[in-house]
């Protein structure tokens, strides 16, 4: 385990061919497709997090990642960032395997979120990010702000929800949020306005 974040291109001819072959099965030979191995990533960065990376997702051309640390003051936030320089395209970034520069757009503060496997969700239009913490609180961030430093936060909590929320998921239209706790309970939050 480390704090590297690595990105591989999937539009490479050999990768695309292997993906197509993965859907084909020959009953007579009972052989599966040949695996294509792409050892080296097209982009690597160790600059985003100082601790173990727990979860990474795409956010349009940006990346959202979360690390975890036993120290409450250290690296438990969600970071929205982009590879390369601010106006650089992905095709230009991955052209040089030695390019490891990354640009942090913003950091979203999450308190009491030090343990592994804390999964955040994005609403279908990438407008809201939801992440639970160790004590049953759910942080919602409105990602529609044009100023990354002014992203609005809302914290949902209930007196009976006191265990770690391991997974969050939105309904397709974003009107319902389900939170899954480590004690097996599900919490449903409905959008009212």
Domain boundary among 108, 126, 146: 108
pLDDT at 1: 58
Same domain, 82 and 126: no
44-53, 150-159, 165-174, 181-190 — which is least confidently predicted?
44-53
pLDDT at 26: 75
Same domain, 176 and 155: yes
Mean pLDDT of 131-154: 93
The helix/strand/coil state of 15 is helix
Same domain, 104 and 118: no
Domain boundary among 108, 131, 164: 108
Could you tell me if residue 27 is inside a domain?
A: no
Sorted by sequence, the CB contacts under 8 Å of residue 155 that are 6+ apart come out as 137, 138, 139, 140
Could you tell me the pLDDT band of residue 72, with boundaries at 50, 70 and 90? Answer: low
97: pLDDT strictly greater than 70 = no
Cα gap 113→69, rounded to integer Å: 9
Alpha-carbon Rg for the chain in angstroms: 19
**Residue 134 lies in domain:** 112-193
Same domain, 78 and 172: no
Q: Dump strand ranges (E) for 8-157.
A: 43-45, 53-59, 62-67, 78-83, 102-108, 121-122, 128-132, 138-142, 152-156
Could you tell me if residue 165 is inside a domain?
A: yes
Is 137 buried (19+), middle (13-18) or exposed (0-12) by CB count in 10 A?
buried
How many structural domains compose the chain?
A: 2
Could you tell me if residue 28 is inside a domain?
A: no
Could you tell me if residue 11 is inside a domain?
A: yes
Cα gap 74→43, rounded to integer Å: 25
Residue 79: both structure tokens together: 């970071």
pLDDT at 123: 93
Could you tell me if residue 179 is inside a domain?
A: yes
Same domain, 126 and 154: yes
Same domain, 139 and 83: no
Cα gap 145→50, rounded to integer Å: 27
Share of the chain above pLDDT 90, in %: 47
Could you tell me if residue 35 is inside a domain?
A: no
Paired with 176 in beta bridges are: 190
Distances (CA, A) of 120 to 77, 153, 155, 166, 187: 12, 14, 14, 8, 15
Number of residues that this document lists for the chain: 193
pLDDT at 96: 62
Sorted by sequence, the CB contacts under 8 Å of residue 191 that are 6+ apart come out as 174, 175, 176, 177
Same domain, 137 and 191: yes
Domain boundary among 56, 81, 108: 108
Could you tell me if residue 29 is inside a domain?
A: no
pTM of the model: 0.84
Same domain, 71 and 166: no
Mean pLDDT of 37-65: 88
């Amino acid at each position: 385990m480390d704090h590297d974040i690595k990105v591989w291109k999937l539009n490479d001819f050999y990768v695309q061919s292997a993906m197509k072959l993965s859907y084909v099965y020959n009953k007579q030979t009972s052989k599966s497709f040949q695996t294509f191995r792409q050892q080296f990533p097209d982009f690597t960065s160790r600059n985003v997090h100082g601790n173990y990376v727990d979860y990474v997702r795409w956010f349009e051309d940006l990346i959202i990642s979360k690390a975890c640390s036993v120290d409450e003051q250290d690296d438990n936030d969600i970071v929205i960032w982009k590879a390369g320089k601010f106006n650089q395209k992905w095709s230009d970034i991955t052209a040089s395997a030695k390019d490891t520069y990354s640009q942090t757009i913003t950091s979203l503060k999450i308190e009491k979120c030090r343990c592994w496997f804390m999964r955040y969700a994005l609403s279908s239009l990438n407008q809201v990010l939801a992440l639970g913490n160790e004590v049953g609180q759910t942080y919602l961030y409105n990602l529609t702000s044009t100023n990354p430093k002014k992203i609005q936060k809302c914290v949902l909590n209930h007196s009976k929800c006191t265990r770690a929320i391991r997974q969050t998921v939105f309904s397709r239209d974003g009107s319902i949020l389900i939170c899954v706790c480590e004690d097996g309970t599900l919490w449903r939050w409905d959008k009212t306005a």
